Amino acid sequence: MQPPHSQNHFVCLDCTFTQPQPGTCGRCGSDPVLDMRDPNVREMCTEQDTDRRTKRDELFRYVSIPVGIVLTLVVCVIVPPIAILLGIVPFFFGYILGMVGATLVVMVLLKSIFPYRDRFPRNW
Ligand SMILES: [Zn+2]
């Protein structure tokens, strides 16, 4: 994302390039660029960013669940005292809590390692 320029009012929804004149995108040559001074265009850009963020968060969640489960089982095998500790809680709830905790840790780590950056400028 390039820094917004006061004269670059037109944005390409495909590659986020901004330019001063209407027409086709100066970078990728795709569809007509849209005027960011139009509140509807700004809302469309915000919705695109929100959708992308939601899909990314869902992907991290789906990846974190199996990783958290496997991580808990591996830790229980490698460090037997942890398996004994988790086994104290009846009905495998200790293991389930361990897996949920590991899943949350993996999810937080993924989000901090790969922070989401908005594609479109917000300060128009
Ligand atoms: Zn473009």
CA of 15 to the centre of ligand 1 (A): 4
Average pLDDT over residues 114-121: 90
User: Chain-centre distance of CA 46, in angstroms?
Assistant: 14
CA of 39 to the centre of ligand 1 (A): 20
pLDDT at 122: 74
User: Chain-centre distance of CA 14, in angstroms?
Assistant: 18
Q: Which two tokens stand for residue 19?
A: 């330019």
Residue 76's CB is within 10 A of a number of other CB atoms, namely 19
CA of 53 to the centre of ligand 1 (A): 20
The residue ranges of every structural domain in the chain are 1-37, 52-113
pTM: 0.76
- Tell me the pLDDT band of 124, cut-offs 50, 70 and 90: low
- Say if CB 10 and CB 18 are below 8 A apart: yes
